[in-house]
Amino acid sequence: MLSREGAQIDAIYYCPHLAEGTVKEYSVDCQCRKPRPGMLQKAAREYDVDLSMSIMIGDTPADIMAGKAVGCKTVLVQPPGNGFEMAENPDFIAKDLMDAVTLVS
């Protein structure tokens, strides 16, 4: 669907770790679990991305904190009625992903 519209996904990153988890090999205090920015830094290295020119769009405070930690502009996607306190304010607040894209284009 994305390629039909001229877009592509270069990579997908995820953190399999949980410091208090029950699977020993993944029970580590890693740098890739948000709000730490390890996944963003890894993507930047692997794809030569300038994070200061990048936009982190997410739906949790941890997403916003990770983006801010590496100098991204940030957009919180927060549907009406689904509010929470933010430790750090996002640059934009959007009601859905399409709204987020419109705000930053």
Contacts with Zn ion by CB under 5 A lie at: 15, 17, 30, 32-33
* Nearest distance, CB of residue 30 and Zn ion, angstroms: 3
- Please report how close the Cβ of residue 35 comes to Zn ion at its closest, in angstroms: 12
**Closest separation between CB of residue 86 and Zn ion, Å?**
23
Residue 75, classified by CB atoms within 10 Å of its CB into exposed (0-12), middle (13-18) or buried (19+), is: buried
Q: Is residue 89 within 8 Å of 73, Cβ to Cβ?
A: no
